Amino acid sequence: MKKIIIILGIFTLLPIYGKSSEEKTVKSIAIFIPGVTAGSPIYEELEEGVKLATQDLGVSVKTIEGGFNTAEWPEKVKEIAATGMYNLIVSSNPSMPEIANEISKEFPNQKFLILDGNLSGNPNIYTAEYKQYDQAYMAGYLAGLVTLSNMSGANIQKKVGLIIAYNYPVLDEVIIPGFKNGLKDVDPEITIDTRVVGNWWDATKASELTSIMIQEGSDVFLSISGGATQGVISKCQDSGKYIIHFDSNGYSKAPGTVVGSTIIRQKELTYKLVKMYLENTLPFGKAEVFSAKDGYIDFIQDDPLYQENVPEEIKSKMKTIVEKIKE
């Protein structure tokens, strides 16, 4: 009798087992953009990476822009989770892990893949962070070499411009210290003029700030201000000054004006992580860090626009420092 009950039990369980494994098949991914995609390389490449990893696989991908009001993001992400339609929510921002962690309590079946953030220990959340100190150090080192150079737009003052959207912990604790130390290692006398746009989109304001900073002696710029960076680029172009592009290859945005591109390989990393998710090998619960050593942070030297527009002496010094950082 017992045997019959056990056998019956196994047969009744089989369809359930079969169904649940079928349900695990990935059908749908939501990309939550904390801001808007256009103008921010970090978001543009996130979207490209997901699309590349899922193409021809029958996976549906939907992008939802959260807009610039950070206070609205938790509610918007919660709405996405509440639909129960998405096997995975992909996002990228230092403030996203905490938001996902909270939502995870209410929706324990929702999985999250978050780049540019750090949180370990939640079995539904995987995060990937970049060692951005190195990225910013390379930008600082180049800015130092440019402001000291005899390039046509460089002046006698040892002064560089830093334009930021606003202060946030990764910027203050990682990116700015990296940038400062890069400058210092070229010449400790170089000073930084820092100005705040106040948001991630106002290119007009960023351009006005750049104009004032140029009048006050800055000849090379770094901008961490998303879509507002376009205003810095165009003002530098009009005034014959220089800018170092952050996060992606920006040489072609203003040839001769963009003198460096210090990048994170966000598209490649997103691609790799989404592929791992689809193959059930993404280690949820973990927080991983990617660096120059493993190729996810780099300084673009092989672009013809860099080769043509930057003096040999600077290129040679950059080559040495990049090799040293990669080691």
How many Cβ atoms are within 10 Å of 174's Cβ, its own excluded?
A: 19
Closest CA to 178 of 2, 321, 28, 27: 321
Of the residues 37, 54, 91, 95, which one makes contact with ligand RBF according to CB under 6 A: 95
The answer to whether 42 contacts ligand RBF (rule: CB under 6 A) is yes
The answer to whether 247 contacts ligand RBF (rule: CB under 6 A) is yes
Nearer to ligand RBF, 59 or 170 (CB): 170
How many Cβ atoms are within 10 Å of 152's Cβ, its own excluded?
A: 8
The answer to whether 129 contacts ligand RBF (rule: CB under 6 A) is no
Of the residues 61, 66, 77, 94, which one makes contact with ligand RBF according to CB under 6 A: 94
As given in the structure block, the two tokens for residue 318 are 């950059």
Between 176-186 and 132-148, two packed helices, what is the crossing angle to 10 degrees? 40
Of the residues 89, 183, 224, 236, which one makes contact with ligand RBF according to CB under 6 A: 224
DSSP 227: G
> Where on the phi/psi map is residue 67: left (φ > 0), alpha (ψ -120 to 50), or beta?
left
Q: Is the CB of residue 226 less than 8 Å from the CB of residue 35? A: yes
- Kindly give, in sequence order, each residue whose CB lies less than 8 Å from that of residue 300, ignoring residues fewer than 6 positions away: 249, 251, 260, 261, 262, 263, 306
Of the residues 93, 124, 147, 262, which one makes contact with ligand RBF according to CB under 6 A: 93
CA torsion sign for 141, 247, 245, 209 is: negative
CA distance 199 to 132: 21
The rounded Cα 121 to chain-centroid distance in angstroms is 22
As given in the structure block, the two tokens for residue 11 are 């047969």
Sole window of 88-96, 183-191, 279-287, 293-301 interacting with ligand RBF (rule: CB under 6 A): 88-96
Sole window of 18-26, 32-40, 213-221, 310-318 interacting with ligand RBF (rule: CB under 6 A): 32-40
* Least distance CB 192 / ligand RBF (angstroms): 17
The answer to whether 284 contacts ligand RBF (rule: CB under 6 A) is no
CA distance 327 to 325: 5
Of the residues 37, 40, 149, 210, which one makes contact with ligand RBF according to CB under 6 A: 40
Nearer to ligand RBF, 168 or 284 (CB): 168
Show the 3-state SS of 84-99: CCCCEEEEECCCHHHH
Nearer to ligand RBF, 30 or 139 (CB): 139
The answer to whether 127 contacts ligand RBF (rule: CB under 6 A) is no
Nearer to ligand RBF, 111 or 245 (CB): 245
Q: Are strands 125-130 and 220-224 parallel, antiparallel or unpaired?
A: unpaired
Amino acid identity of residue 130, one-letter, is Y
Sole window of 33-41, 57-65, 249-257, 288-296 interacting with ligand RBF (rule: CB under 6 A): 33-41
* Least distance CB 262 / ligand RBF (angstroms): 10
Interacting positions 154-213 with ligand RBF (CB under 6 A): 168, 170, 200
The answer to whether 298 contacts ligand RBF (rule: CB under 6 A) is no
The answer to whether 70 contacts ligand RBF (rule: CB under 6 A) is yes
Nearer to ligand RBF, 30 or 224 (CB): 224
Q: What residue ranges bind ligand RBF (CB under 6 A)?
A: 34-35, 40, 42, 70, 93-95, 116, 168, 170, 200, 224, 226, 246-247
